[in-house]
Amino acid sequence: MVTKLEKVGIIGAGWYGFRPQVKDLSFREMVFEAASRAYESSGIDPRKDVDTFVSCQEDFWEGISIADEFAPDPIGGAMRPTMTVPGDGIQGIIHGAMQILSGVSKVTVVESHAKPSDIEKIDKIIELGMDPLFSRLGVNVNFLAGLDATKFMKNYGIKREDLAEVVSRNLSSGFKTPRSSFASKVSVEDVLSQDFLVYPLSTMDIAKYVDASIVFILASEEIARKYDPVWIEGMSFSTAEKLGEAEYLSIASRQAYKMANVKPSQVDGIFVDDRYSYKELQHLEALGISSKEFLRDQNIEVNPYGGHLAKGVPLEASGLSLLLDAVDFIEEGHESAIVASWRGIPTYTGSVLVVRK
Q: How many CB atoms lie within 10 A of CB 335?
A: 13
Q: Pick the closer one to another protein by CB: 191 or 315.
A: 315
247 to 84, 256, 274: CA distances (angstroms)? 26, 14, 16
d(Cα 22, Cα 132) in Å, to the nearest integer?
33
CB of 271 to another protein, least distance (A): 20
Q: Pick the closer one to another protein by CB: 171 or 345.
A: 345
Q: Pick the closer one to another protein by CB: 99 or 180.
A: 99
Q: How many residues does the chain have?
A: 357
Measured N-to-C along each axis, helices 89-101 and 318-331 cross at an angle, to the nearest 10 degrees, of: 70
CB of 96 to another protein, least distance (A): 10
Q: Pick the closer one to another protein by CB: 95 or 279.
A: 95
CB of 229 to another protein, least distance (A): 18
The string of DSSP letters for 10-68 reads: EEEEEEEEEES---SS-HHHHHHHHHHHHHHHHT--TTTT--EEEEE--HHHHT-TTGG
CB of 75 to another protein, least distance (A): 11
The string of DSSP letters for 95-120 reads: HHHHHHHTTS-SEEEEEEEE-GGG-S
CB of 34 to another protein, least distance (A): 18
d(Cα 350, Cα 307) in Å, to the nearest integer?
16
CB of 241 to another protein, least distance (A): 7
DSSP H or E run through 251: helix 247-260
Q: Pick the closer one to another protein by CB: 250 or 336.
A: 250
Q: Pick the closer one to another protein by CB: 142 or 238.
A: 238
CB of 253 to another protein, least distance (A): 12
CB of 213 to another protein, least distance (A): 17
Residue type, 47: R
Q: Pick the closer one to another protein by CB: 58 or 301.
A: 58
**What does the binding site for another protein look like in residue numbers (CB under 8 A)?**
1-2, 5, 58-60, 63-66, 68-73, 77-87, 91, 94-95, 97-104, 125-126, 128-129, 131-133, 235-241, 247, 251-252, 255, 343, 346-349
Q: Pick the closer one to another protein by CB: 53 or 294.
A: 53
274 to 59, 114, 207, 311: CA distances (angstroms)? 24, 18, 8, 10
Give the CA radius of gyration of the chain: 19
